[in-house]
Amino acid sequence: MLARLHRFLPALLGGLLSLTALTSEGLAQPGKPRFGGPIELKPDDVPAFADPPAGIVAKREGIAHGKLEMIAYESKSVGATRKMNVYTPPGYSKDKKYPVLFLLHGIGGDETEWQRFATPNLLLDNLIADGKAKPMIVVMPNGRAQKDDRAAGGFGSAPAFAAFEKDLLEDVIPAIESRYSVQADREHRAIAGLSMGGGQTLNFGLGHLDTFAWIGAFSAAPNTKPAKELVPDPAAAKAKIKLLMITCGKKDGLIRISQGVHAYLKEKEVPHIWHVDGNAHDPTHWRNSLYHFAQRIFGAQGAAPAAATPAAPAAPAKPTGEPKPADGQPAPDARPSVLNAPGYQYPMVDSQGRATFRITAPNAQSVVVAVGQRVSLTKGENGVWTGTSGPLPVGFHYSSVSIDGASFNDPGTQTFFGSSKWMSAIDIPDPAGDFYQPKNVPHGTVRIHPYYSKIQNATRRAFIYTPPGYDNSKERYPVLYLQHGAGEDETGWSAQGRVNFIMDNLIAAGKAKPMIIVMENGGGSALFVGGVPRGKPGTGGPGPGGRPGMGGNPFEQILLTEVIPMIDANYRTLADREHRAMAGLSMGGGQTLSIGLTHLDTFSAFGVFSGSRGITDVKTAYNGVFADAEAFNKKVHAFYISVGTTESMEGARGFHKALEAQGIQHVYYESEGTAHEWQTWRRSIHGFAPLLFPK
């Protein structure tokens, strides 16, 4: 096995390096993918199933629920105690034996990712209650087989994903079979995964048909072996495979990987299901794929070999269960967006991440909503136009309404400053987004602090978060200076990013130190305080956090000589470098590097979210701050770099690899399934804040 692993790694790393986003916003454009390479759809690339009904992951009352638990096991292959998330079905009993599905995550995830993206416990609870899936145990391990198996390191951890084959076969499966009441044979063992886990699924599942009979690969990544290596003996594969299901979204820039496997299987007449839906490389596709796969394994309703796709293209299945919402009408489980203006029902968002819009324009000839995709509305009675989007990625999305070519904000939503103007927006719920929701915990305060800038000869303002209990104590606090991206302003981190709720929850859980957060206007928009335009909004069209030219921006001197002294004079701060950090997103991440790294006498920790670029010589970058790795590591207490997996990643990955080679200690995080957008940055500050101010 090790020999095969070593032959495979160069191709794996080369494939991962080719993952590139083609738009600065990270949004799918006509004819262009959000992730990977060019998309060329073929005649076979059609749905095998209708879209799932609404509410597939809704928690239903009146049905039995399974149990989710995190367990530890000893991995001899890794030499460490590792964790995995395990779902046991409703009514689990040691007096019965259950089949097992092993569910693998993507390159930026860990044993919690499936639960965050798809809540498989609720999905399985509902399917089992409806008699559509067999009661089964679902095991979600960490597919990164190394001692430091945190969700960090990006493609640098690719060898550990390949090495997981040994851990899975020799440690994970025996641990599950010794602890749970399982049917321990290949006919009752399935494997499935998303992205990197989809590649692992094909590699491990097809490579060990004596162990797995049911195989499901969703959006398989470039770690997938060539099809001829996956199935060297088609006749033997036909005899052993109970179900082989391969899925991808038609907007996924990695579709060529799955297309190649499908084409080979079709040529060799190996039965399989080939399903291409309308999604991208995103959680909606993975959740829906699991929904379809779980119903077809272990002898459930659609699992017979006859259900597999033959050599001919798959035809779309007839809808079953709840119908897809009528054109322009919200799904039964749709709810008003949390960002709606008071009293407004629309926009509405359903459990599949689809948004339904309603605009009154009786004299209009055309109404189109832009929300990462174009949604053409249909005119109904009384001049009311309605329309429903396709599934949208989780998180915050700016929107605009075009009426006969003129652009307006949606009157039903609150507005947020982005792309250098106030814009309407919606928020698609994230099953794992509990960390930025307001909870019943002590809350801090976001204050607006105006001040006069002599440098700019203008009145400016800062938004300042003070932690819970600040006003009733005499304690002094460390300070994080947190910057927005181009086209946005000092309101962004609290309004779009919800950083105050993120910090409230972290502090309440004891995961982060209470701190003051200062959010200032770093420029990069046409409304840079003072009324003087300073460059243009982000390149590549409207989008959050673009990277404009920032010539003439005086922010560095304003921050160092006016803002920091003002904060130290007016708030109870620990006014030394050990208790001062800087972070930012996109342009703000670039400012963190250019300002922070050249002032190590002022700051001791740094967070760069979607803001790092490739550098030609790490030893000379930023005035040579990285030349002496030992000195840098002693002086800098936290250095955090992050990027979304569906935005342009080359700069962040290249920077990470250069730092790693130089011996610079840092944490590298990839936000799975998110682009150059606020969901990436919400996750980033949530990961960065606990690292700050350990003393």
Each residue of 504-513: b (16+ CB within 10 Å) or e?
Answer: bbbbeeeebb
Give the model's pLDDT for residue 674.
Answer: 86
Domain end among 376, 401, 428:
428
| Model confidence pLDDT, tens digit, residues 507-517 | 999 999 999 99
Are 503 and 515 in contact by the 8 Å Cβ rule? The answer is yes
Q: Are residues 531 and 628 in the same domain?
A: yes
| Pair (201, 348) in one structural domain | no
Q: Answer yes or no: do 413 and 484 share one domain.
A: no
The model's confidence at residue 638, banded by pLDDT at 50, 70 and 90, is very high
CA distance 486 to 547: 6
pLDDT band at 150 (very low <50, low <70, confident <90, very high): confident
> Which residues share a beta bridge with 245?
216, 273
Say what percent of the chain tops pLDDT 90: 73
Q: What is the pLDDT of residue 648?
A: 83
Residue 526 lies in a domain: yes
Q: 409 in a domain, yes or no?
A: yes
* pLDDT the model gives residue 34: 44
The CATH number given to whatever domain includes residue 397 is: 2.60.40.10
In a shared domain, residues 191 and 85 = yes
Residues 420 and 477 in one domain: no
Residues 180, 299: one domain? yes
Burial of 5 (0-12, 13-18, 19+ CB in 10 A): middle
Range of the domain at 458: 444-691
pLDDT digits (tens, 9 = 90+) for 557-605: 999 999 999 999 999 999 999 999 999 999 999 999 999 999 999 999 9
Structure tokens at 482: 């947190």
Q: Is 107 inside a domain boundary?
A: yes
What pLDDT was estimated at residue 541?
32
Closest by CA to 353, choosing from 193, 128, 117, 127, is 117
Tokens 């190394």 -> residue = 146
Whether residue 403 is contained in a domain is answered as: yes
Residue 507 sits in a domain whose CATH number is: 3.40.50.1820
* pLDDT tens per residue, range 623-633: 999 999 999 99
Q: How many domains does the chain have?
A: 3
411 and 481 fall within a common domain: no
Domain boundary (291, 307, 323) is at 307
Asked whether residue 344 falls in the same domain as residue 284, the answer is no
Q: 562 and 512, same structural domain? A: yes
Whether residue 630 is found in the same domain as residue 504: yes
The answer to pTM > 0.75 is no
Residue 243 lies in a domain: yes
Flag whether 43 is in a domain.
Answer: no
The mean pLDDT of 208-218, rounded to a whole number, is 98
Residue 134 covered by a domain: yes
144 and 204 fall within a common domain: yes
**Joined tokens for residue 293:** 């796969």
What is the mean predicted confidence (pLDDT) over 322-339?
75
| Residues 334/349, Cβ–Cβ less than 8 Å | yes
- pLDDT tens track for 32-64: 344 567 899 999 999 999 999 888 988 888 999
pLDDT tens digits, residue range 606-621? 999 999 877 778 999 9
Q: What is the mean pLDDT of the chain?
A: 87
pLDDT at site 427: 96
Say if residue 282 is in the same domain as residue 402: no
Residue 413 lies in a domain: yes
